[in-house]
Structure 1
Amino acid sequence: MECNDYNITRDLERKNLNLNPLQRGGILPREAREALHDFGDGYSVCDYCSGRLDEIAKPSISGFLEDLSKFLKVDDVRTTHGARESKFIVMHSICEPGDVIVVDGNAHYTTHLAAERAGLEIIEVPNSGYPEFRVDMDVYEETLKNSIDEYGEIKLAVLTHVDGDYGNLTDAKSFGNFCNKLNVPSLLNCAYSMGRLPIDANSWNIDFVVGSGHKSMAASGPIGVLGMKHEWAETLLKRSPRHTKKEIEMLGCTSRGAPIATLMASLPHVVSRVNNWNEEVELSRSFVAKLEEIEGITQLGIRPTNHDLVRFDTPILHEISKIHPRKGFFLYEELKSRNIVGIKRGQTEWFKCSTYGMSKDQRDYITDSFKEIVEKFAE
């Protein structure tokens, strides 16, 4: 048969400033690109495997997992195919169909899908609504207590450390402490934080932390991280009685080849960059302040922002779209002509973006470009 032309080319990162929050934390450093070249073939990490991915010594996946557990301050850690798979593994391991879990109101859709796949019932902790959309820990604790009173047992409480809509950073330590006090296992979804800012699962008293290598840890996808307190290892890492080396919930082996090789190669870079998190936050706040100099552009979420992912309400851009011949596509096209990408085509009422890892000059260029665009078309 003759295959279609799949158009497998991409120069977006090389030629443009990319504002897509989904992609900013996954950009590979040089060391990871070299590993990608060497380990791009399918089962490339399995040259010296004796039956357990986590025990491979060349490349030293065992040593990598040891370092990863120290980095996250967890007792045991495994890689998975993504944060969503990590969440499902926890839910499938410690819950039964029909069990009730509590989830914050800013949870990623994959948290809901993982729970639905496991056959669980979800109680949602409401956020504060417009304009902050804050998940308050007092409200979470009250909801959790009420849920225990109503259902008798809550099998899991899930908190999104940083949500993907507003970039709100939640109080993980408070969450871990009241979950422990109420004897409810806690899961912290760190897809937008692990690899960007320091994680200390043990001091936060968190039972499970999940992360995303391709979203925030400078790795090729798909790869996730699942860290846990040691008391849960027997349940989550239970081995098959038939295939005695294989961990059931991992389906034996998880991410192989390029994803884990790039995550391993990037870890020293990631360990170093989290030390610059406070500087990143200050740069993000400065970016917000300059963009808000444009009348009709306002940051949503907690102010001042504590993360690089930021959502803006942009009625001025939407008003321009109503009179522009290209309608909602004008913004994307104007930005693209200035080598700025990452804002969705056709989106003008609001947008979210991230300047993580960019220089101050690059961020200033972006804010200046928005000002030019508004001045060009605003009446």
Structure 2
Amino acid sequence: MECQDYGLTRNTERDNLNLNPLQRGGMLPQEAKKALLEYADGYSVCDYCAGRLDQIPTPSITGFLEDLAQFINVDEVRTTHGARESKFAVMHALCEPGDTIIVDGNAHYTTHLAAERNGIKMIEVPNNEHPEYAITPESYKETLENAIDNKIDLKLALLTHVDGNYGNLTDAKKIGEIAHKAGIPIILNCAYSMGRLPIDAKELNMDFVVGSGHKSLAASGPIGVLGMKEEYVDTILRHSKRHGVKEVEMLGCTSRGAPIATLMASLPHVKDRVKHWDEEVRKTINFVRQMEEIEGVKQVGKRPKEHDLTRFETPIFDKIAENHTRRGFFLYEELKKRNIVGIKRGQTKWFKCSVYGFSEEQVNYIANSFKEIVDKYME
């Protein structure tokens, strides 16, 4: 029988500099790549399972979860299939269909889907629009208090720590305090922050934190993290009435192979790299400075940058595309010639990117490549 070629060969990282902010924090260190091979088979971590994933002694998932909980400063932690599943589990445990929650206007689409799947209504905190698109504590407080004044019983609050559109880092500590003063439990979505920068859930006044292993914790996905305070453990991790050892919101067990093995193997690497977060921010600010030396290019979002995910308005590339035979695809193709990938095909009016994890020399090379492309077509 002839075998089907599904195009599974991938050399993106081996041969190129990948600017995709979705992937920068998910790059595996060597230790995790070794674990990936060891635990590539489906249920490969379940050889010594007595019924609960979090209690498996070999490999020591139990010990890992204890270390992970300490790393993000929560009382209890579980892995899930992704940040979206973590959000869904909390909403499902704390809310009933028809209940209302408050979310920030920069929330990821998966926040909306998790609420929709639970039959929950949402009130959105607006951002302050162009050019910052920021979620401020003042706006969050005003929206929350307006809802309470209108006799709306808010069951839960959610804040996106760093949004995926502009890379704005929110003031989680202040907003967590606002929610607590109102007596509302709050989730912090750390999909773009947990594993890139230090997270201390209790210091940030959060009842729950969710993370993404494949986005920011150097793991092979999909895998998520759900951390919580002690007071919510019995509710979120309630046991099945029929299968007593199983936790209902976790549907018994979550990741059972390569995702959790790589997350475990990467934890020492991640613990070390968050110590260098200030350096990553400095490199990003330097990259923004160099990019804005190009006529018309402007960083959108809060300034100065506090996170690596960066959005640029790039009218000059759109102008070039108008007269180029390849139209909007020219930028992707010119970058690919220079071994730079991660900007979406056909995108020239604006784009998102990240230089997280690159050396200073690589950052300069990337910025200079954009300048060279402009010079080539705007002589």
TM-score if structure 1 supplies the norm length?
0.99
1:40-81 C-alpha deviation (Å, 9 max, x unpaired): 001110011111100001000000000000000101100000
* 1:181-260 correspondence to structure 2 within 5 Å: 181-260=181-260
Fraction of identical pairs, as percent? 68
**2:12 and 2:205 mapped to 1: Cα distance?**
41
Question: Partner of 1:358: helix, strand, or coil?
Answer: coil
Is residue 118 from structure 1 mapped to residue 147 from structure 2 by the alignment?
Answer: no
Q: Which residue in the other structure is 2:276 paired with?
A: 276
Deviation of the 1:139 alpha carbon: 0.7
RMSD, aligned CA: 0.9
Q: Which residue in the other structure is 1:370 paired with?
A: 370
Q: Which residue in the other structure is 1:323 paired with?
A: 323
Q: Which residue in the other structure is 2:162 paired with?
A: 162
Q: Name the aligned partner's letter for residue 163 of structure 1.
A: D
Question: Partner of 2:296: helix, strand, or coil?
Answer: coil
Deviation of the 1:2 alpha carbon: 5.9
Question: Partner of 2:256: helix, strand, or coil?
Answer: coil
Q: Any runs of at least 4 consecutive aligned residues in structure 1 with deviations exceeding 4 A, and if so which? A: none
**2:111 and 2:378 mapped to 1: Cα distance?**
41
Counting matched residue pairs gives: 379
Q: Which residue in the other structure is 1:342 paired with?
A: 342
Q: Which residue in the other structure is 2:354 paired with?
A: 354
Deviation of the 1:133 alpha carbon: 0.2
Question: Partner of 1:312: helix, strand, or coil?
Answer: strand
Q: Which residue in the other structure is 1:36 paired with?
A: 36
Q: Name the aligned partner's letter for residue 324 of structure 1.
A: H
**2:274 and 2:288 mapped to 1: Cα distance?**
21
1:182-239 C-alpha deviation (Å, 9 max, x unpaired): 0011010000000000001012220110000000000000000000011000000000
Segments of 5+ residues of structure 1 without an aligned counterpart are none
Deviation of the 1:256 alpha carbon: 1.1
**2:268 and 2:235 mapped to 1: Cα distance?**
30
* 1:17-166 correspondence to structure 2 within 5 Å: 17-166=17-166
Question: Partner of 1:238: helix, strand, or coil?
Answer: coil
**1:212 and 1:300 mapped to 2: Cα distance?**
24
**1:349 and 1:150 mapped to 2: Cα distance?**
41
Q: Name the aligned partner's letter for residue 278 of structure 2.
A: N
Question: Partner of 2:351: helix, strand, or coil?
Answer: strand
Q: Which residue in the other structure is 2:294 paired with?
A: 294
**2:43 and 2:371 mapped to 1: Cα distance?**
49
Question: Partner of 1:168: helix, strand, or coil?
Answer: coil
Cα pair 2:100 2:152 within 8 Å, conserved: no
Greater CA deviation, 61-70 or 146-155?
146-155
**1:308 and 1:204 mapped to 2: Cα distance?**
20
